[in-house]
Every structure is written in structure tokens, then in C-alpha cells.
Amino acid sequence: MTSVPLRPPRWALAGRGSVVGIVTALVSLGVAQLVAAVLASPIGAPIDAVGALSIDHSPAAVKNFAISTFGSSDKTALVWGIRVVLLILAAVVGVLAVRALWRGMVGLAVLTAVGVYAALVRPTSTATDALPSLVGGAVAAAALWYFSGLARRSLTGAVPPEEDRRPASGAPPVDWTPAPAPGRPPADRATQRGPSAAPEQPAWTGADPGPDRRRFLVSSAAVAAGSLIAYVGGSWLASRRDVSAAAQALRLPRASRPAPPLPPGTDLKIGGLSSFVTPNGSFYRVDTALVVPEVLPSQWQLRIHGMVSKEIVLSFADLLKRPLIEDYVTLCCVSNPVGGPYVGNAKWLGASLRSLLQEAGVKAGASQLLCTSSDGFTSGTPVETAMDGRDALLAVGMNDTPLPVAHGFPARLVIPGLYGYVSACKWLVDIEVTTYRAARAYWVPRGWSAQGPVKTESRIDVPGIQNSVQNGGTVPIAGVAWAQHKGIDAVEVRIGGGPWQQARLASVPGIDSWRQWVYDWNVNVAPGNHLVEARATDATGYTQTSLVAPPEPNGASGYPSVLVNVV
């Protein structure tokens, strides 16, 4: 008797196809990660490139949502989101391939093309940056061909001949009767088994059709495990080239102009209040780099060109030979909401940007410094601000150590008085002296202002939202306020909509750093929630506005507030 192919149901095809697609995706990711690690690609693996492309094209509202929801873990959330979407798409590709191989191959080609495109459109990309996606796609195509064929064979086994249909002793009988064709009445068994009856395609019973199913399951599990090992190994290999060791081994020269000594009373030493100097490990990080650029000092150089009389190319050794300046400067991200965490104060060490620009000879009419990171990000700094005498630094040190890699090693900009997106370009490699009309920096086409002076702001650190205070006692209400390159002259506190009360200010070494403040509240109010607000006044006489504005396009505004529960 001739064997007859089985007819599997759709759910069985979808299940096998999903496994095929996910295994294929894992193969592609593992191989691509290894290739990217071997090539030391600054773009990273395809997921990194796609993530960077997503960041570049995300609307401001999406960016703000990610920062407010995930904080410093926003990039981790993005990578995992891409992985989940990729596995879903891969499952679809696998189902298509089990049904018709060419359809699955088309889907795989599209996903590979997305990875190639994402790698090649990066500003600093080269042709080799496409290799991780191409090699990963090629190996994945072979895996898709093999596993889709194995899946089909595992599903469409044959009805065995009559002599092989006998169940084992004690096993229930199996009905091998072929399923009738759609629209045709079922024939009786005698007719079906007659010598002239043509074998029809039987229904799939779910029984194990043979070694192909076992081979499919074992092979899928083994290849998936091997791919995950390859992915982890590639990630480990990439991390072995981490420049953190070079940063830690670097010995920075002494500053020719050290930071002024901190006056007594700079830090009020109140529990929960932000320290005057933010430790490197706690300093906020908001940038577009999904893969942190890793540039060895020996390979770093800075080019200053454009509307200058003399182009300058500076090596890291050249930079360290220049007179270095130390200063306490507060940096703030334009995405920081009122009372938010994306602000910090540090002691920076660096060369004077103004002196470098004077050597290059800035030509008349120049209005913008288009600063470029090693990963292609750009910021636009006003020439006037960089040249007006404030401590605009090409920084190499942070809090008495070389710059951490995540904060711009080996060199970055630090310019007080401007939001970070126009003043604090990390991993800096290029400065083009130009005009705002001739060039637009990264965030400007995305709806942010071309120039971003920092707004006078304050924040309440204590008491926190979760804290309750006792009636009849004295409770410190404390926080920080900043108005870089203007200075803070006063902070006031208001409780429950009452009159504004003057807070006590800490000492500061200069006008470019934030200032701690505290108001001692003699609690004598009705039990329940009470709204506490604060506002700062800078040295120009400007008082922080109550007008509520979102971060875009040029920074948030409004009074910081906290509800305090009095018991």
C-alpha cells in the first residue's frame, strides 16, 4: 500500500513556523554580534544600529515619554523593545517559510536590509559596518532553509502501510481513515479501502510521524542555545576592548588654574539633600548613544575648521600640554522636567575653548560652533557664549579623575549657562565654525530651539513625596537652585498657598554651580496633605516663573512642588 501525506492544521503550521522564525532570528543575532565584535564596529550589532535609527527619528514627545518613564534605563528599554519586535517579525517570517520558502526568504531579506540601512546611514559609518547584518542574514537564510524544510517534513509525515498500522499491545487503536475532501460526503470504509480507491490526504492526528519531528525539536533547541552563546560571547569580546582601562590608567596633569577652594557652608549636610558635588557614578546621563563610543586617547583628535583663519588639528597629547582650567560647573538637560533629576554639579578640568578658537581665528559673521561627536551626534553652540570669557572648557577630567567613558572620554565640551544639547557634546572630535543659517544641529530639525540658555530653576529634595512629618516640630525643606553664569541670590518657599518665606542659602565658590538652600518649617497646621512650593531668584533680579511649560522646545518652567503629609 502506498503511503499518503498527512494534512496538518493551521495551528500546527503556525507553531512550527514560529519556532523556525525565532531560531533563525537567534542565529542571525548571534552571528552578527560576533562579526561586529571581531570588526570592532563603532556602530555595533544590527540591533544597536536599528536602535540608533529609532532614536534619530523619534518625535520629541516619544523621547520625553521614554526619559520620564524609564529614566536612565531608556536605552535598555529600547533595546529590549527592538528584540521583542524582531522576534515577533521573525515568527511571521518562519510561518511564511514553512508554507512557502520563497515568502520567508523575502521577509528575511527585508529584515536584513533594514539592518544594513540602519548601519550605513550613521554619520560616521563605513562600508564594513554593513557586514554584521549581511553575514548574519546570509547564515540566517541557510538556517531558514534547513529548519523550514525539517518543519514541513515533521508535519507532513505519511500514513504508514496497512501492515505498519497495528497499534502496540495495549495501545488504543488509531483511526487512519482519510479525511473527506471539502464538500464531499464521507465514503464508507469498504469503498475507501477498495483496490480502485485513490488515496486521499488524511487529517493530521498529532501522532509522532517519525524521526523528523524529533530531529526538528532537538536541532532547534541546540541551534538556539548555540546562537545565544555566540551572542553572549560577541558581547563579551566587544567589552574586552573597553577603553575604561585606558581612562583609569591616565594621569592628568595639574591644573594651571585650580578651582577655588570650597568656602565653609557649601554643603548643608541635610539627609536627602543633593550633595554639592555630584559623584561621577550618580551624575545623570542623557544622550542619543545606544552604544557608548569608545575612543582611545592615542586615536583621538579634534579638528577645528570652517570660518576660521587657520585650521587646527589637535591630538590628545597636544590637548594635555595646554594650560588646564578647573571649575565647578552645573550641567542640566533640556529634557529635565520641573524638579527633575537630570541636573548635576561637578568639578571639571579642561583646556580653554576660547583660547583654541582665538588661535584658529574666528572670522566675522560666524555665529555657531557645530560640534560633532565620534558617533555623529551634533550640537550647536553660540560662538558669542563660547568667547565671552566664561569657563567654556574642552574637558578631560571630572571630579579629579579622567572623564568616565559614559560621560565623554577622552574629551567633551562643558559650557556653563547652556542646556546640554547645545553645550556639552561628549566624545568630541570636530568643531566647525559656521552660522545657524548654514547648519542645523541634531535636535533643531526635531523641534528644539537652536540656542538653549538655561532657565533659572530650583528643586525640592526634602521632604520627599513619601515622607510624613510630625505636627508641632521643625522640619527642613531643602533643595538646590541653579542659574549658571548668573548665580542664585535667593530662594523662597510657600506652604499651602500662603506667603513666600525666605530660605537660607549655602555658600558657593562661583556663579556657574548650583546652590543648596533650606527653610526651617515650624509645623503648626491642620493634619493632612499640604502643598510645598519653591522659587529661585538669580543675580540679575529675575525670579523663577510660575508659568508651566513642557521641556520642548527650550526647557521646562514652573514652580517645583511636593505634597507633604502632616500627621
pLDDT digits over 516-540, tens only?
999 999 998 999 999 999 999 999 9
Least confident stretch, 283-297, 388-402, 482-496, 545-559: 283-297
Q: What is the pLDDT of residue 182?
A: 45
CATH code, domain carrying 537: 2.60.40.650
Domain termination site, one of 388, 413, 446: 446
Over range 263-287, report the average pLDDT: 95
Do 426 and 390 lie in one domain? The reply is: yes
333 class by beta-carbon count within 10 Å (0-12 exposed, 13-18 middle, 19+ buried):
buried
Look at residue 325 and tell me if it is in a domain.
Answer: yes
- The residue segments making up the domain with residue 487 are 457-566
Average pLDDT, the chain: 87
Same domain, 415 and 503: no
pLDDT tens figures, 339-353: 999 999 999 999 999
Give residue 497's region: left, alpha or beta (phi > 0; psi -120 to 50): left
CA pair distance 412, 424, nearest whole angstrom: 7
Gap between the Cα atoms of 458 and 491, Å rounded: 8
C-alpha cell at 542: 529675575
186 found inside a domain:
no
Mean pLDDT of 430-456: 95
Neighbours of 420 (CB within 10 A): 25
Q: What's the half-sphere exposure (Cβ side, CA atoms, 13 Å) at 485?
A: 18
pLDDT at 70: 74
The answer to whether residue 20 scores a pLDDT higher than 80 is yes
Q: Does residue 3 have a pLDDT over 50? A: no
For residues 480 and 421, membership in a common domain is answered with no
Answer with the one of 446, 476, 509 that is the final residue of a domain. Answer: 446
Same domain, 404 and 442: yes
Contact 395, 283 (CB under 8 A): no
76/218 same-domain check: yes
Q: What is the CATH number of the domain that holds 360?
A: 3.90.420.10
Q: What is the pLDDT of residue 210?
A: 59
Number of domains in the chain: 3
Question: Which of 126, 133, 47, 31 lies closest to 84 in space, CA to CA?
Answer: 47
Could you please report the per-residue DSSP string of 402-431? EPPGGGTTT-EEE-TTB-HHHH--SSEEEE
Residue 523 carries which side chain, given as an amino acid letter? V
Q: Would you state the cell numbers that stand for residue 53, as one nine-digit string?
A: 535609527
Confidence of residue 32 (pLDDT cuts 50, 70, 90): very high
Asked if 379 and 434 sit in the same domain, the reply is yes
Query: Is residue 171 over pLDDT 70?
Result: no
552 and 476 housed in the same domain: yes
Decide if 270 is inside a domain: no
Is residue 46 reached through a cis peptide bond, with omega within 30 degrees of 0 on the bond before it? no
Q: Are residues 298 and 413 both part of a single domain?
A: yes
Asked if residue 234 and residue 113 are part of one domain, the reply reads yes
> Which pLDDT does position 8 carry in this prediction?
65
| pLDDT for the residue numbered 290 | 80
Q: Is 350 domain-assigned? A: yes
CA-to-CA dists, residue 78 to 46, 82, 182, 287, 455, angstroms: 14, 6, 48, 13, 30
Please tell me the pTM assigned to this model.
Answer: 0.75
Asked if residue 473 and residue 441 are part of one domain, the reply reads no
Within this chain, do residues 513 and 413 fall inside the same structural domain, yes or no?
no
> Could you say which of 400, 427, 446 is where a domain stops?
446
Of the candidate ranges 124-133, 338-347, 453-462, 506-515, the one whose mean pLDDT is the lowest:
124-133
Q: Is the dihedral of CA 41, 42, 47, 53 positive or negative?
A: negative
Residue 193 lies in a domain: no
pLDDT digits (tens, 9 = 90+) for 189-213: 444 444 444 455 455 445 445 577 7
Whether 161 is covered by a domain: the verdict is no
* 299 and 442 both lie in a single domain: yes
Asked if residue 272 is part of any domain, the answer here is no
Confidence of residue 179 (pLDDT cuts 50, 70, 90): very low
Has residue 268 been placed in a domain?
Answer: no
